[in-house]
Amino acid sequence: EKGGYKHFMLKEIYEQPDAVADTLRFGVEDMPSVFGMSGKQIKNIKKIQIIACGTAYHAGLCSKYFIEEYSGIPVEVDYASEYKYRFVPSTPGTLAIAVSQSGETADTIAAMKKAKEAGFKTLAICNVLGSTLTRMADHTFFTRCGLEISVASTKAFTSQLAALYGLAVFLGFQRGVLNSAQFKKYSTEFFALPRLLENTIKNTAEAVKKTAKKIYKEKTFVFLGRSANYPIALEGALKLKEISYLHAEGFPGGEIKHGPIAIIDSHVPVFVLAPKDNLFEKMLSACEETAARGAKVIAVTDKKGAEILGKKVFALVKIPEANSFLTAILNAVVVQFFAYYIADLRKCEIDQPRNLAKSVTVE
Ligand code: F6R
C-alpha cells in the first residue's frame, strides 16, 4: 500500500503533482461553478475571512498574499480556535472560507458555525466530500488529492494552496482587477503547477537528503521567508516539530533582526526561502546576517538566485523558476522533504508521530 515508499508521508509528497493535477481538473470556463459564485456575488464581496487550523491555516495565510494582490479584497486569516472565541464585527459582504483536509476538525467546524450565525456566505475548501464542514458550507471546493494517510499533512496542503491560488485569479478577473491578458497569463501558469511540482521533486529530493545528513543532529532549526513564502517557513517549522520533535521556528525574513536573531549560532541551521523575486535582496541580507552569527544557511532558490547565493551559503537547493507566489507552493515541497529526511535520519515514527492524531475532533 505504500507503493514501494518507506513511509506514507514520502509517498504522499511524491503524489503531489498528481494530487494537484486532480484538484485542478477543471477549465477556466468552469471556475464560476467550482467556486460556487456568480459574478454578482463576487462583486459584492467586501472582505474574506479565512478560518483553519495547523497546516490548513498556513495555506490560508499564504493565500492572503495572492488573494489581496489579485482581487483587491481584504483578507483576514484566523486560527479557527481563536476565531470562535473572539469578538467578530459582522462586516456585511464577508465571505468566510474554511480550509480543512478532513472537514471534521472541531475547531474549524465551531468557527464555521460562528461565521454562519453572523450571516456570512461560506465556502469550504475540503478534501472529504460529505464531511461535517461540507454539509454546513454554502458551497464546497473539493480538493481531489485522495486519501491522506500520514498524520503530517503534505499533499492536502499543496492542493489547498492550488485551490486558493485559482480562487485568487478567478476573483481578480471577475472584479476587473486583472485584465484578460493577466488572467490568461496567471491561469496558464497556474495550470502548469503539476509540471512545476514534478520538476521540483525531481530536482530537490537528493539535494535535501544530502543536506539533511549534515545537520540532522542539531536541536533547533529556523525557517525564514517573506510574502507568500513566510507561511511556508511556518509550515516547514511545523512539519519538523510534528515528525522529528525538534525545536523549529518560522519567521518572516524581516522580523529576525527584531529579536529572533539572538538565538542564532553555529548550531542553529537556518533555511532561507529566497526565490529571485522583488524581495530577494532582503532575503540575501537575512542569509548574510545569520551566516555572520555562524549559522549554516540552507538557501532554497531558483537558477538566478543560485548564481548570487552560490558561494555565500552552506547549502543550496534549486527549485524551478516560477512567479513569486507559485514558488511558495514549490517551496512547500522542499520543506516537507527537509522535515521528512531529518525525521528519518533520527529514526522517528514518521507516519504516526507521538501525541498527534490525523483528525482533531475535540475543541
Ligand atoms: C499538520 C496537521 C495538522 C492539521 C490540522 C487541521 O501536518 O496535520 O496541523 O493540518 O489539524 O486539520 P484539517 O485540515 O483536517 O482541518
What pLDDT, in 10s, does the model give residues 49-99?
999 999 999 999 999 999 999 999 999 999 999 999 999 999 999 999 999
Place of cell 477543471: 26
C-alpha cell at 45: 464581496
Contact in structure between 273 and 225 (CB atoms under 8 Å): yes
State in Å: Cα 157 to ligand 1 middle.
9
What pLDDT, in 10s, does the model give residues 265-313?
999 999 999 999 999 999 999 999 999 999 999 999 999 999 999 889 9
Torsion over CA: 259, 262, 265, 268 (sign): negative
Give Cα 91 to chain centroid, integer Å: 27
CB of residue 240 inside a 6 A radius of ligand 1 = no
Write the CB contacts of 280 (distance below 8 Å, at least 6 apart in sequence). Answer: 274, 301, 305, 308
Rounded Cα distance between 233 and 167, Å, is: 23
State in Å: Cα 80 to ligand 1 middle.
12
Contact in structure between 127 and 15 (CB atoms under 8 Å): no
Work out the burial of residue 90: count CB atoms within 10 Å of its CB; fewer than 13 is exposed, 13-18 middle, 19 or more buried.
exposed
State in Å: Cα 306 to ligand 1 middle.
33
φ, ψ at 296 (rounded to 5°)? -80, 115
CB of residue 242 inside a 6 A radius of ligand 1 = yes
CB of residue 94 inside a 6 A radius of ligand 1 = no
* Ramachandran quadrant class, 3 (left: phi over 0; alpha: psi -120 to 50; beta: rest): left
CB of residue 60 inside a 6 A radius of ligand 1 = no
Can you give the pLDDT at residue 114? 97
State in Å: Cα 359 to ligand 1 middle.
7
Can you give the pLDDT at residue 361? 86
Can you give the pLDDT at residue 1? 86
State in Å: Cα 255 to ligand 1 middle.
26
Q: Which helix (H) or strand (E) holds 49?
A: strand 47-52
Torsion over CA: 18, 193, 143, 29 (sign): negative
Per-residue pLDDT tens, the chain, 363 aa: give them.
899 999 999 999 999 999 999 999 998 889 999 999 888 899 999 999 999 999 999 999 999 999 999 999 999 999 999 999 999 999 999 999 999 999 999 999 999 999 999 999 999 999 999 999 999 999 999 999 999 999 999 999 999 999 999 999 999 999 999 999 999 999 999 999 999 999 999 999 999 999 999 999 999 999 999 999 999 999 999 999 999 999 999 999 999 999 999 999 999 999 999 999 999 999 999 999 999 999 999 999 999 999 999 889 999 999 999 999 999 999 999 999 999 999 999 999 999 888 888 888 888
Can you give the pLDDT at residue 223? 98
Catalytic positions, written as ranges: 358
DSSP state of 241: H
Can you give the pLDDT at residue 265? 96
Choice from 13, 83, 105 to test ligand 1 binding pocket (greatest atom count within 8 A of CB) = 105
Q: Which of 145, 135, 179 is nearest to 59 (CA)?
A: 145
Write the CB contacts of 181 (distance below 8 Å, at least 6 apart in sequence). Answer: none
Write the CB contacts of 85 (distance below 8 Å, at least 6 apart in sequence). Answer: none
C-alpha cell at 352: 504516526
Choice from 101, 340, 352 to test ligand 1 binding pocket (greatest atom count within 8 A of CB) = 101
The reply to whether ipTM tops 0.90 is yes
N-to-C CA span, the chain: 32
What are the beta bridge partners of residue 301? Answer: 318
Contact in structure between 282 and 149 (CB atoms under 8 Å): no
CB of residue 336 inside a 6 A radius of ligand 1 = no
* Max Cα-Cα span within the chain: 56
10 Å Cβ neighbour count for 103?
25
pTM (2 decimals)? 0.97
C-alpha cell at 131: 464531511
Q: Which of 12, 102, 54 is nearest to 237 (CA)?
A: 54
CB of residue 100 inside a 6 A radius of ligand 1 = yes
